[in-house]
Amino acid sequence: MVAPMTRIPMIAKLLGFGGLVPPLLLIWLHLTPNPATHDIAFWGVVYGGLIATFLGGMWWAFASRLARLPEGIMILSVLPSLILFVLLVMMFSFSALSPLKAGVVIGAMLLLSPFVDRWLAKRGATPDWWMALRWPLSIGLALLTITCGWLAA
C-alpha cells in the first residue's frame, strides 16, 4: 500500500502558482505607459474565465472517479464554460457588460470553486494535497481577475 501524499508536489506548486503570472504580467503591462497595451488588462478577465473552465473539467474528471456519479457536481462542472461563454457574448457582441462586471462574476466563481473541490476531496476523489493548493490559487486568481476587470473598465 502506498502512503498518501500530503505535501504538494513541487511541479504542482510551480505550475499552479505559475498560473498567476499571466494576470500579473497583464496588470504590469496595463500600467506601463505604452499605447500598444491599452486595455490589455481585459485579457486577465478572460484568462480567469479560462482557468474557471479548466477547474470545471477537473471537477468532471474527479467526479467521474467516484463509485456513485454525483449528478450535481457533473452539472456544476459545465457551468464555468457556459457562464464564460455568456459573459464573452455579452461583452463582445452586445457591449452589455463591462470588463469589471465580468471580472467580478468570474472572480466570484473562482472564490466559490474550492467549495466544490472540498466536496470532492471529502469523498476521496482528489489527491490529499489538493485543497492546500486550491485555496491560495483560487483567492489569488480571483483577486487578480477582479483587479484586471477594474483596470480594464
Q: Decide: 111 and 48 in contact? Cβ < 8 Å.
A: no
Q: What is the DSSP letter of 123?
A: T
| Whether residue 4 has pLDDT greater than 60 | no
Q: What's the full length of the chain, in residues? A: 153
Please report, rounded to a whole number, the percentage of residues in the chain having pLDDT higher than 90.
87
Please report, rounded to a whole number, the percentage of residues in the chain having pLDDT higher than 70.
96
pLDDT digits (tens, 9 = 90+) for 69-101: 999 999 999 999 999 999 999 998 988 999 999
Question: Cα 38 to chain center, whole Å?
Answer: 24
Q: Residue 2: pLDDT band by 50, 70, 90 thresholds?
A: very low
